[in-house]
Structure 1
Amino acid sequence: MPPADAPTDPGPAPQAGAGAEDTLDLRLTAELLALLGEDTSVYGDGPEGSGLLDRPEQWKPVTTPAGVLQLVPVRLERDLSVISRWMNDPAVAAFWELAGSETVTARHLTPQLGGDGRSVPCLGVLSGVPMSYWEIYRADLDPLARHCRVRPHDTGVHLLIGEVDQRGHGIGSTLLRAVSDLVLDNRPRCTRVVAEPDVRNTPSVSAFLSAGFRYSAEVELPEKRAALMVRDRAHRARL
């Protein structure tokens, strides 16, 4: 699982969790994919062949109260500099623990970009301006599944808002709702969108609640005690 979410609308100095597990450490075999009911013919290499997530690179922009949002899959040569700059913001670094040179950020991105597509890193482009970083991932194929009960095709999200002037105005909640809607609209087999912010990160938990997620449980993960946030397809119209 990737490092803990940065606060979507950062509050007072958050405390960092220690360590992280690799989202991509579970090897998918043809037998496992068959057991999961996956059609192996739709998979290519890396996020551009991201059949495991129903191809986020093809998801259309959506209009939100904050502007038109589009998820754009990361390209290292184009996006590394801006993502690394965001990772060096103290409010972000306290949770993601990726401060340092661009090499540090590249080491985090490269396994996802060269993987099997179970985790797709994206820029959130709002009204034409890159302002957030997302990871859309298969929670049922992630180490998270070792620590809590997940369902087939559960889809996880991690978010950081990179631009400081976009924080603290409710934009995090707006974007979380929009992206979870995108997941549910484009992944018909997915019944739940999940997230696991640090329980101490009250602003982040509040943003998820405002976006229609429910506080499902507290989960002990290797690097933090997490709030398991869930947005159910069955309840999305009411929350």
Structure 2
Amino acid sequence: MPPTDADAAVDPASTPFSSRDSPTNPRDPGASTDNEETLDLRLTGELLTLYEAATTPRATATHSAGAVPSADAMPSVGRFPSAGAGAGAGAGATPTPMSTVTEDLLDHIATWAPVSTPAGAFHLAPVCIDRDIPLISRWMNDPAVAEFWELAGPPDVTAKHVRTQLDGDGRSVPCLGVLDGIPMSYWEIYRADLDPLARHYPARPHDTGIHLLIGGAPDRGRGVGGALIRAVSDLVLGNRRSCARVVAEPDLRNTPSISAFLTAGFRFSAEADLPAKRAALMIRERALRHAL
């Protein structure tokens, strides 16, 4: 599929940059069209240890005192604090050394440092249910978002979807995208190789998938989506040394989303027949990271 202009001939208020595959995301089993769930395999601690040992060389920790604060350390209202602020008891708190943090399936997203983008300073903040559900639910009830995410309704609908991920084994992490201190997008970073999506394409160990939506209409249709997708895929490749590819599967009908992924350095790999949609399989490879 040739690249297209993400800002051309699209009503930004009616069509969001969003990428989401309902059946391959953690959600209520009864809501899926074929009961195919992200969290259909429970991995014990022992199995996780064996899996990581078999597929991942232990990397030296590279994070420092500038780590992004945990979701629970952020305020419940107003602007989000700078991602370089220390988490915990206050401004003088000492971040937990990486050597004391247990390995997880997505390499501690809460510690990923902020990045500079053409749109501003950006970082991912793992979702806190009590703080973030009203905002995310409002976005899910935007008709343009609801068309692809299918999570319109009262806040409990969104809360159930998010809680399924938070209560799982860590293979999918829901996050707010915070731009210049303002939460303005929703992201799900997930292990595509451990997801039902892997049944529909030739997955490789540690493939990492992303779903997203841009929350407000003013941030749509002006190149923000492509800039942030590139930033998040760079964050994945920069922090997950074992990951060679970032993947996404937007609905083929969502041409602004596909255009944004192409702008962000992804290539169109194939069309995929997923249980609830026909998707465009988009891939960004580490080997081509600086070429595209």
- TM-score bucket (shorter structure): 0.7 to 0.9
CA contact (8 A) 1:50 1:117 kept: no
Task: Classify 1:104/1:201 alpha carbon distance in 2 versus 1 (closer, same or farther; 3 Å).
Answer: same
Report the Cα offset of residue 129 of structure 1.
0.5
Q: Specify every segment of 5 or more residues in structure 1 that has no aligned partner in the other structure, as ranges.
A: 1-7, 40-46
Matched, 1:22 2:74: no
CA contact (8 A) 1:196 1:226 kept: yes
CA distance in 1, matches of 2:21, 2:213: 16
Radius of gyration: which is bigger?
2
Figure out how many residues of one structure are paired with residues of the other and give that number. Answer: 224
Matched, 1:34 2:34: no
CA distance in 1, matches of 2:226, 2:210: 13
Alignment of 1:85-234 (within 5 A): 85-234=138-287
Which secondary structure state, in structure 2, belongs to the residue aligned with residue 116 of structure 1? coil
CA contact (8 A) 1:50 1:56 kept: no
CA contact (8 A) 2:178 2:185 kept: yes
CA contact (8 A) 2:22 2:149 kept: no
Which secondary structure state, in structure 2, belongs to the residue aligned with residue 53 of structure 1? coil
What RMSD, in angstroms, separates the aligned Cα atoms of the two structures? 2.4
Task: Classify 1:107/1:201 alpha carbon distance in 2 versus 1 (closer, same or farther; 3 Å).
Answer: same
CA contact (8 A) 1:120 1:137 kept: yes
Alignment of 1:13-92 (within 5 A): 20=32, 21-29=36-44, 30-31=46-47, 34-35=50-51, 37=54, 51-92=104-145
Please give the TM-score of this superposition, normalised by the length of structure 2. 0.72
Report the Cα offset of residue 75 of structure 1.
0.3
Residues 124-150 of structure 1 deviation map (CA, whole Å, 9 limit, x = unaligned): 000010000000000000010111111
Report the Cα offset of residue 11 of structure 1.
4.0
Which secondary structure state, in structure 2, belongs to the residue aligned with residue 212 of structure 1? coil
Q: Specify every segment of 5 or more residues in structure 2 that has no aligned partner in the other structure, as ranges.
A: 1-5, 24-31, 57-70, 73-101
Report the Cα offset of residue 35 of structure 1.
4.2
Report the Cα offset of residue 18 of structure 1.
7.8
Residues 179-202 of structure 1 deviation map (CA, whole Å, 9 limit, x = unaligned): 000000000000000000011211
Structure 2 counterpart of 1:163, one-letter code: G
Q: Percent identity?
A: 63
Farther off after superposition, 104-113 or 30-39: 30-39
